[in-house]
A and B are shown apart, each in its own frame.
Chain A
Amino acid sequence: DVKVTQSSRYLVKRTGEKVFLECVQDMDHENMFWYRQDPGLGLRLIYFSYDVKMKEKGDIPEGYSVSREKKERFSLILESASTNQTSMYLCASRMPGPQETQYFGPGTRLLVL
Chain B
Amino acid sequence: AQSVTQPDIHITVSEGASLELRCNYSYGATPYLFWYVQSPGQGLQLLLKYFSGDTLVQGIKGFEAEFKRSQSSFNLRKPSVHWSDAAEYFCAVGAGAGGTSYGKLTFGQGTILTVHP
Do the two shown chains form a genuine complex with each other?
Answer: yes
Tell me the A residues contacting B by CB distance below 8 Å. Answer: 4, 31, 33, 35, 40-45, 48, 50, 56, 58, 90, 92, 94, 96-107
Closest-by-CB residue of A relative to B102 is A50
On whether the beta carbons of A98 and B32 are closer than 8 Å, the reply is: yes
41-55 of chain B: CB within 8 A of chain A: 41-46, 49, 51
On whether the beta carbons of B90 and A96 are closer than 8 Å, the reply is: no
Chain B, interface residues (CB within 8 Å), range: 20 to 34
- 7 shortest A-B CB distances, which residue pairs? A104-B43, A42-B107, A43-B107, A104-B44, A42-B109, A106-B43, A50-B102
Closest-by-CB residue of A relative to B42 is A106
Given A41-B109, A106-B43, A107-B43, check contact A100 B103 (CB 8 Å).
Answer: yes
On whether the beta carbons of A98 and B105 are closer than 8 Å, the reply is: no
74-104 of chain B: CB within 8 A of chain A: 90, 92, 94-97, 99, 101-104
On whether the beta carbons of A99 and B32 are closer than 8 Å, the reply is: yes
Nearest chain B CB to A29's CB is how many angstroms away? 10
Tell me the B residues contacting A by CB distance below 8 Å. Answer: 4, 6, 9, 32, 34, 36, 41-46, 49, 51, 90, 92, 94-97, 99, 101-110
What is the CA–CA distance of A3 and B36 in the complex, to the nearest angstrom? 17
Given A41-B109, A42-B109, check contact A98 B103 (CB 8 Å).
Answer: yes
